Amino acid sequence: MITLSLDSKGFIAAIEDVAGRVEDTATVHDIIGEVLLDETKERIREEKAPDGSSWPALHPVTLDNRRSKSGILRDTGELFRSIHKNSSAAKAEVGTNLNHPKVWVNQYGATIRPRRVPFLLIPYMGGKLAAKQITIPARPYIGIGRGDEELVKETLEGYLEGYLEE
């Protein structure tokens, strides 16, 4: 599982302030997790990194070998379906439960080189292309994105208004 930590003292202080106002911190963290889960899935649909930048396009050879044209990280749907949240009274986490190198490669990028043969062989148009290496660009999707902090704050304020009205 990929784990990212938020290093934003102001954001953490605001969340702790909200959480301190209610007894049910599990619900507060569940709300945070749900907002971040929705935003992570939306970034995958929009093909954008948490910082708002667009992902690099797929290489034409990769496009030709795809089973589905549904999106850059959505060929089989396995990665998208694996995105989940865990929350408790103490924390909220969003990540993927896939224990697979593809998760790391998609998030951070990689260069693939052959280990035992001189070339990598890539299927293409009924034949094969030979390559000494393949560079896969990073396509980050997990993390606190632009506007996520404000969305979490607004959602929690809405929850607190209901909580305080009771």
**Domains in the chain: boundaries:** 9-104+141-165
Grade residue 78 by pLDDT with cuts at 50, 70 and 90.
confident
Structure tokens at 144: 């606190």
Say how far apart CA 77 and CA 105 lie, in whole Å: 16
**Radius of gyration over every alpha carbon of the chain, rounded to an integer in angstroms:** 20
User: First vs last Cα of the chain: how many Å apart?
Assistant: 39
Question: Of the candidates 7, 36, 150, 52, which has an alpha carbon nearest to the alpha carbon of residue 95?
Answer: 36
Q: What is the pTM of this model?
A: 0.76
* Least confident span in 56-65, 95-104, 115-124, 145-154: 95-104
Q: At what angle do helices 9-21 and 148-165 cross, to 10 degrees?
A: 10
Grade residue 163 by pLDDT with cuts at 50, 70 and 90.
low
Query: Rounded to 5 degrees, what are φ and ψ at 93?
Result: -130, 145
Q: Is the pLDDT of residue 56 over 60?
A: yes
